[in-house]
Amino acid sequence: MVDSHQAAQTRLLAIITFLLIGFALRQTYAVTMPLAAAAVVIAAIWPVKPWLERFFSATLSNIGTVLVLFAILAAFAGAISFSVTRVAQAFTDNSDKLQQLYQSMSDWVRSWGGSIGSVGGFSRIVSMGEQALGSAYNILVYIGIIAILVVFGLPEVGSLRQKINREIDGRQTRELVDATDLIAVKVRQYLWVTTITSAITGVATLVLSLVVGLDLALVWALLNFLLNYIPIVGNVVGIVPPTLYAVIQFGGWVMPATVFAGFSIVQVAISNFVAPTLQGKSLSLTPMAVILALSVWSWIWGVAGALIAVPLTSAAVVLCNHFPSVRWIALLLEDKKDSESAGGEHRAAENA
């Protein structure tokens, strides 16, 4: 009875601690978000450094790794800027048609006794779109900040490991280093698989757009490639702009419905069959855990939080698995089979 009461107290304290951490991270967005994102980027780009060290000195390998990172970030920043600018321009050029479409929808809903507002409601939607564009360009600014943090943080990884080995005793050092290495591996696996599925989504979107004759085919392909990095939410959002543009371009409902159905099939097929096959058990998170992670990290850090929600949650699961008092959190978030095997391994280790 006492043990049960103590366990309940421990879990309550853990929940309160996580809530306080969440509020603290939310209030320190400008500092903590770039640091967390930089850590994810360093974990992802790290294999490039030891590979370059086979041929060059440590200094040159650091420079080469940074150049590779800048090339990747420049490509992503260029894709974001190009796709957002073209989509914004396309809808701005057709603002009259959009307003007429909105008014028609409003009249149709009103005929059924509902209401979505009138022209003023359309203005609010335009304002929301402008805010979304502003958020997209803010991401470009933060990409630059994150790049600077990575440039300065990458050379410090080796010395940080040496400091940990020097300051912490053997068993604790081993557990901490093992946990860090496992987190880095999971981050790389996640980003690698997500990049592959994003590329497949982009190519499929491009082909589908060309087949149905939808304008801005390359833009929709890039948009879906980028949005695929945001699980679930990005998949849904990637369908809406091309479908709405199809209404403007084709009119009627047959072609827009075709575009909507085609894009939906692509997203569902890749998200439910291709991605799980490639991902396997690398992250060991349940679907509900992914949705919860997106909700929590989006509340904490907005769009940036959604982008790194899955690797951050995976990192939290790995850390919780290394501490008995909060291991129950990892067991709740992990895939059932993996959590059972992980729990068996921890119990075996404790018995040993």
Predicted local confidence at residue 114, as pLDDT:
64
Per-residue confidence at 250, pLDDT binned at 50, 70, 90?
Answer: confident
- With respect to residue 85, please indicate whether it lies within any of the assigned structural domains: no
Predicted local confidence at residue 339, as pLDDT:
44
Average of per-residue pLDDT across 228-241: 81
Predicted local confidence at residue 341, as pLDDT:
44
Residue-wise pLDDT for 328-342, tens only, equals 788 887 765 544 444
Predicted local confidence at residue 137, as pLDDT:
61
309-321 vs 29-45: helix axis angle to the nearest 10?
Answer: 80
- With respect to residue 193, please indicate whether it lies within any of the assigned structural domains: yes
Predicted local confidence at residue 265, as pLDDT:
92
- Which are the contacts of 64, defined by CB distance < 8 A and separation ≥ 6? 48, 52, 56
- With respect to residue 138, please indicate whether it lies within any of the assigned structural domains: no
Q: Provide the token pair at 202.
A: 């982009």
CA distance 306 to 189: 18
Q: Provide the token pair at 350.
A: 């404790």
Average of per-residue pLDDT across 309-326: 82
Predicted local confidence at residue 132, as pLDDT:
57
- With respect to residue 199, please indicate whether it lies within any of the assigned structural domains: yes
Per-residue confidence at 252, pLDDT binned at 50, 70, 90?
Answer: confident
Per-residue confidence at 212, pLDDT binned at 50, 70, 90?
Answer: very high
- With respect to residue 327, please indicate whether it lies within any of the assigned structural domains: no
- With respect to residue 345, please indicate whether it lies within any of the assigned structural domains: no
Specify the number of domains making up the chain.
1
Average of per-residue pLDDT across 33-61: 87
DSSP H helical ranges for the chain: 2-27, 29-45, 48-53, 58-93, 95-111, 119-153, 156-167, 170-212, 217-227, 233-237, 240-250, 254-269, 275-279, 287-307, 309-321, 327-333, 336-351
CA distance 24 to 31: 11
Predicted local confidence at residue 340, as pLDDT:
47
Predicted local confidence at residue 289, as pLDDT:
81
Predicted local confidence at residue 346, as pLDDT:
43
Residue-wise pLDDT for 123-139, tens only, equals 555 555 555 555 556 66
Whether 5 has a pLDDT exceeding 70, the answer reads: no
Share of the chain above pLDDT 90, in %: 11
Predicted local confidence at residue 119, as pLDDT:
43
CA distance 197 to 229: 9
Q: Identify the domain containing residue 268 by its residue range.
A: 185-282
Between residues 183 and 202, which one has the greater pLDDT?
Answer: 202
Average of per-residue pLDDT across 137-153: 77
- With respect to residue 290, please indicate whether it lies within any of the assigned structural domains: no
- With respect to residue 326, please indicate whether it lies within any of the assigned structural domains: no
